[in-house]
Amino acid sequence: MATIIDEVRRDGDSALRRLSERFDGVELDEIRLDPSELDRALGAISPELRTALEVAFERIVAYHSDEPAPMKPFESDGIRVQHRDVAVERAGCYAPGGRARYPSSVLMCAAPARVAGVGQIALCVPPAHGGTIDDATLAAAAIAGIDEIYPLGGAHAIAAMALGTESVERVDVIVGPGNAYVAEAKRQLSGVVGVASSFAGPSEIVVIADATTPPALAAIDLMVQAEHGPDGMAWLVTWDPAVAEKVNTQLIELVASSPRRADLEATLSSNGVCCLVDDPAAALAVSNLVAPEHLELLVEDYSGLVDGIRAAGAVFCGIDAPASLGDYAAGPNHILPTNRSARFASALRADDFRRHIHVVEVTRQGFESLAPTVELLAETEGLVAHAESIRMRR
């Protein structure tokens, strides 16, 4: 499997053609099917099959349109579906350590788990050299009602929680930020264990600024995420060259006087970027492409930009909304998707600790109304037992 993925990553379309011939016995001239094939297929199938497909699609759309109201049963034509939200039994939380201590991450992990109704919460924290965990982190664990604490850090902590050991009972879901090794361990163990908030790795920020932005505030907010250390990301995006120059000047001065200068310089030298664009629309295009963990709209008229945001973990609007508020106490979670995973993932929330179980009840009327549709679709797919299970009840 890894070889196939690497082949596609390296060779693109040529790999797809090669692999299709090897595994499917097909030589592909074009990778993408001509859209006219859809119209041709609709005309080729029987009217009965087309109707069955349309009925099934309409019912699936109707059900999922009702998803935001889990306490309200979905009822249609004699079929009733209840939504049961069931919390996982055990959650594993990871709070980073090493360069700094993060009691705030303990709170951010545990609070939504408690709201969801998780039975037990385990916490892993990288220990200090003496094998201890600092008091602020332990106090946060006490306040959050953590059940088990392990002085473990890095990829082996994630593996322990996912797989279980003699001392660490395995968990159902793992949450919490970490360095690139922690994030990669979660990625590789996803499927063995639930992994919330996708790739919660090194910290990222994009700051969009204009002529109304105080340069010192833009500079310090870039530093807020950069001071977490190497492998992070801090981008300034502006359409005003003067703003770029002023912010850069402020940034140099602030970094030079910071007690975390080494961590700041490590991040800024590898992924500190000033991106000069043509206009606000281009700034949003850059941000959506980057899909940052934190996005700050440090502009006076931010309302005109919000609707254009398509990918970001969290968005902070105006000069009085620094990302640091969100990191600690604004309310929303600071465990956010990084590494462009905001294209498909969201901030940690209580729902990440829940499973959704559908309970389906069917009246005789409901069965009769759908039986012909289900029987025909099953026969079309060649699933004889599926079709027979309907016929035997008719």
Q: Is 7 a catalytic residue?
A: no
Catalytic annotation, pick one of 148, 204, 227, 293: 293
> Residue 376 contacts by C-beta under 8 Å, 6 or more apart in sequence?
48, 49, 52
Matching residue, tokens 């009965």: 48
What Cα–Cα distance (Å) separates residue 215 from each residue in 188, 222, 249, 297?
Answer: 41, 11, 9, 13
Q: Is 228 a catalytic residue?
A: no
Q: For the chain, give percent helix, strand, coil, nearest 5.
A: 45, 15, 35
Matching residue, tokens 């700050």: 296
Q: Give buried/exposed letters for 115-154 (b at 16+ CB in 10 A, else e).
A: ebebebbbbbbbbeeeeebbeebbebbeebebebbbbbbb
Taking the C-alpha atoms of residue 96 and residue 250, their distance in angstroms, rounded to an integer, is: 29
Matching residue, tokens 């009702």: 66
Instruction: Using CB atoms within 10 Å of the CB of residue 270, give its burial: 0 to 12 exposed, 13 to 18 middle, 19+ buried.
Output: exposed
Taking the C-alpha atoms of residue 177 and residue 152, their distance in angstroms, rounded to an integer, is: 14
Catalytic annotation, pick one of 148, 294, 334, 375: 294
Give me the active site residues, please.
293-294
